[in-house]
Amino acid sequence: MDFNDTKEEAEFRVEARSFLEKHLKPKDANSPRRPSGEDFLKRAKEWQKTKAEGGFAQITWPKEWGGRGGSSMQQVIWNQEESKFDAPTGPFTIGLGMCVPTVIAFGSDEHKKRYVEKALRGEEIWCQLFSEPAAGSDVAGVKTRAIKDGDEWVINGQKVWTTGAHFSDYGIVLTRTDPKAPKHKGLTMFIVDMHQQGVEAKPIHQASGGREFNEVYFTDVRIPDSDRLGEVGDGWKVALVTLMNERLAVGGSPGPDWKEIMEYARDTGSLSDQAFREKLADWYVAAQGYSLTKFRTQTALSRGGTPGPENSIGKIITANQLQDICNSAIEMQDHYGIMNDTDTMPANALFQQSFMWAPGLRIAGGTDEILKNIIAERVLGLPQDVRVDKKVPFDELKQG
């Protein structure tokens, strides 16, 4: 494991930091963790355009698509440096991290010419339409139907927990095109215009006060066959590419870590509590272990290699630790811990806000249980769970 930049990487880090210092303010304690609203969306689009013009948007993408044609390690370095600044990146995480890479992998040349550069420059925002009310974390359990009608497909159904659907321009939607096939075999993916007739996004009011998730309804939505991604019935293969990118994109947690709760405990005198100090040590050890694991990934990238399966553990560690840290901080505040007012609570109610967000992070990008199954089966080589529905036609499965 090599903790040091090469000469070329160090030069790129200086270049990246200089660009960031020119355009953004460093992140501080007052920087909002989960900003939203029209002003934030406008600022995010402006920043995405600025990054693209400076050659720092999606660094590994080819120049003909608006990227830099750089290395994976350069992208890692950029992400590290950008995270130190008040960068409004949220609205583009899903599109550029999950949706557009799927379009690049399975779309036509016309798709790439039409969509990639516009997304890269912040002109269009994308969302991912997978989850459904009755399917839970079983992505292959989707019921949203797509029926062929000439050169078009007619889509009817409902998606849920779709982040950013209410301000997105386009999305990738997973549908069932063959209910007679087993659930993993009868799926097909499409590009959908989120502004077209029959598409309705309804924001969900969350416990934290945010409204970034949505229910999305499709009523006789017509999509041309030319906007299909992959072959008919090959949607599971396409979806897996999206899901692998998703688990990398949501691997970290945008909330307080062990350093922040240690500072808070120091201010309140809780550092004298032996039980709290033991917890603090556990959080520190877990964070350092995850940090070293990321260094292994960065070393592989730096040497031109491919990251290994160690990336699967990131979200399990960080999401659970975030929830535990916030719960402990709220307990320190005793009966005041139930208050969620940003003007009166310590750390601008950061611990309360993050505590209510943390359960969602443990679901997004695959639940803890699903990720543990992936690690067990694909990393450790343990026997697969028994799946009695694996070869049963979807329309014969017990519903409800």
Alpha helices (H) along 112-233: 117-120
Handedness of CA 300, 301, 307, 310 (dihedral sign): positive
> Which secondary structure element, helix H or strand E, spans residue 396, and what is its range?
none
Q: Which of 231, 246, 278, 377 is catalytic?
A: 246
Q: Return the amino acid letter for 130.
A: F
> Which secondary structure element, helix H or strand E, spans residue 333, and what is its range?
none
Q: Is 246 a catalytic residue?
A: yes
3-class DSSP assignment, residue 393: strand
> Cα–chain-centroid distance for residue 199?
23
**Alpha-carbon distances, residue 180 vs 94, 97, 174, 186, 391 (angstroms):** 32, 33, 17, 7, 11
Q: How far apart are CA 39 and CA 45, in angstroms?
A: 10
CB 313 within 8 A of CB 338: no
Contacts of 162 by beta carbon, 8 Å cutoff, 6+ apart: 127, 128, 129, 131, 171, 201, 213, 214, 215, 216
Give the residue from 278, 344, 287 showing the smallest Cα distance to 320. Answer: 287
Point out the residues that are catalytic.
246
